[in-house]
Amino acid sequence: MTPPLLRWAAVLALLASPTLSSAGTEAQLTLRADQSGPVINRNIYGQFSEHLGHCIYGGIWVGPDSPIPNTRGYNNAVLEALRNLRVPILRWPGGCFADEYHWKDGIGPREKRPSMYNSHWGGVVEDNHFGTHEFLDLCEMLGIEPYVCVNVGSGSVQEAMEWVEYMTSDAESPMANLRRANGRDKPWRVRYIAVGNESWGCGGSMSPEFYADNFRRFNTFIKDYVPGPENRIYRVACGPDAFNYEWTETLMRTAGSQMDGLSLHYYTIPSGRWESKGSATEFGRDAYLSTLAQTLRMEELVSRHSAIMDKFDSKKRVGLAVDEWGIWTDVEPGTNPGFLYQQNSLRDALLAALNLHIFQAHADRVVMANIAQMVNVLQAMILTQGDKIVLTPTYHVFEMLKVHQGATSIPVELRTPDLASTRERIPAVSASASRDAAGHIHLSLVNTDPDGPVTVACTVVGAAPGSVTGRVLSAPSMTAHNTFDSPHVVEPRAFTGATASGNGLSVVLPAMSVVVLDL
């Protein structure tokens, strides 16, 4: 199988090519419909919901007594948007918050639950009205797989063991009976458990050796209460912070045989500096290209961490879970810095599509990804204001590309011009293809060029596309974004720029666009 364009080595070769030193107008694509790659795990399109800012309170959850239209306390408009997104998996309760969260404070009658101080995010006091029942009921209502992160940093092995029993056991046991006393007779189906979060940082400042010992200890007491391999808990170990390859080496060597997944966290910082990250909506061409160049380093990260994992796990039994990723900018002016509320532009939509293409290119190892975060925080799908919601450009990318969820990847070979700024050079075009259960071929394309269209000359090997339909997401400005006053500035529309002839396809991609085609 020919490696996809976005494999890091191919990118380096592309950038070194003297024949592609400036942006051109045509790319050549070969779509190998006569071959099949690995299945694209639908959990690559996962989401993340932390007790942070207004992600939970004022976002997903408004409470049953709220004047905002709700179903049992959940914001109806948010529910409708999430149903359309077909969210496959949702990570909760954090994030840094997970390692100071004690789950027994969030069960029982809401009016009797003790409040807690959120020391990580804004120094606010939370009433614990959104807890285990509320989260798992939300997932059940929307058909989402819950992904629960247990407290390793400040919690105990017993606390984690009892939480898993509370959620998943149907026995006549203390924790299962406590769940019944709190109104839930049958257990929930919770297959995914993360053993701590960022244990190298906010989750305990641990060394990789110390965390590996803790993982093995906690993992021993995370029990499978429901028989059958389909119900076995999938245990995700805390993986590295971005480029910390030593952490992956140590974890795989000392605990790889006991884990099912290893996490990876990487955020795209526009300026490259945590102390001043850059604006979400005010930037120029150089900053635009620099930001996309930084996000493309995800290819290097996935490739190199996967190579280390291959040394200890050649059969790829352990999956890579990129369970925090996305763009992190400065907060919107006038908002609480600890709430991480940022706007979301066309640039961020392109960034999201590029990352999803990278994950799909590595579908043999990447089994999950969770963008940060779902509502009102960082690169959000949805922004809320009272009873109003805004669907962001990133939301629309996830909705358009959801056709790849669970489909079989199709190899692509792509030769593309590159784009140059004063500091960076990136490929102009990115591509990913798959075949769904009904036999439909879907091809998603990204044109990162801010200055003009790019024509993609595509040869389809092993199939002749009789007809082509599609949608496009684009806007005249790279800073274009949706607001509560103007919520439809960036949204998908019908695409008519593709023409099929024999086994060929010509696609004219507008400047700064994401296109999804159905062949």
Residue 299 annotated as catalytic: no
Q: Which residues of the chain have pLDDT under 50?
A: 1-23
pLDDT of residue 506: 95
How far apart CA 241 and CA 200 sit, in angstroms, is 8
How far apart CA 451 and CA 402 sit, in angstroms, is 28
Residue 140 annotated as catalytic: no
φ, ψ for residue 459 (rounded to 5)? -105, 125
What domains appear along the chain, each with residue ranges and CATH number? 8-38+410-518 (2.60.40.1180), 42-406 (3.20.20.80)
pLDDT of residue 467: 86
Helices 8-16 and 297-312: angle between axes, nearest 10 degrees: 140
* Active-site residue, from 198, 300, 413, 424: 198
* Active-site residue, from 134, 162, 324, 413: 324
Residues contacting residue 140 through CB under 8 Å, at least 6 positions apart: 188
How far apart CA 225 and CA 366 sit, in angstroms, is 27
As given in the structure block, the two tokens for residue 85 are 């997104």
pLDDT of residue 122: 87
What pTM did the predictor assign?
0.93
pLDDT of residue 424: 80
pLDDT of residue 452: 94
What are the pLDDT digits (tens) for 317-363?
999 999 999 999 999 999 999 999 999 999 999 999 999 999 999 99
pLDDT of residue 9: 37
Q: What percent of the chain has pLDDT over 70?
A: 95
End-to-end CA distance of the chain: 22
**Is 506:457 a contact under the CB 8 Å cutoff?**
yes
**Is 144:157 a contact under the CB 8 Å cutoff?**
no
